Amino acid sequence: MTVVKKSIDIKAPVDTVFTYFARPEHVSDQMSEKGVGMTVIPMDIKAGMGVGTTFRVIGDFSGKRLEWDCETTEFVRGERISAKMIKGKFKRWEIITEFKELSDNLTNVSMTVDYEMPLGPLGNILDKVKFAKSAENGLETALFKVRGLLEGNGSIPVYITLDAYQKLLAEKKKMNNVPVSTVLTAILEKYEQESEIKN
């Protein structure tokens, strides 16, 4: 059994931070430290990613690829999100993310991964040699990257439908291939102006 725990303070309201973490693929996108890669694919979404939501995790840890399916077991807005493995090679895998509002614009986030490697004694040796350190570094890097994103020092991935993405690319082409963020800003500004005219 191994427990990896990391925490960080983020200069953003607890609701903003919680909303970002409520989508597990957002955080996994930030796990790209050398030797660690993580992809999360939502499978069955319940009540805004709440209890009962299932998702597949595909992890690459120093060249060792593991896949497992998880289910959200706890979802308390602004406080806590938990998920556990329901199918996969680990003997046990659980993640708990806790949120603590320190002030109006400061939130502490704590992530704890509690797992037991497959392969019995050999798995324990592999864990001590490679996996635990990779998992710890990946978790820490993800938290630093998320802090940068939510504090305005990075770019946040946006998940949209294929149809919406194709329309966005068409607008990008009309605007002489400016960056997508410029296109989105222009669309939002136009929408805001139209709303003001209607009111």
Instruction: Tell me the pLDDT tens digit for each residue of 109-158.
Output: 999 999 887 766 555 555 555 667 777 877 888 888 889 888 877 655 56
**Residue 144 identity:** F
Q: Does 192 have pLDDT greater than 70?
A: yes
2-150 to CATH, choices 1.10.340.30, 1.20.58.340, 3.40.50.300, 3.30.530.20: 3.30.530.20
Distance between CA atoms of residues 129 and 154, nearest Å: 33
DSSP 129: I
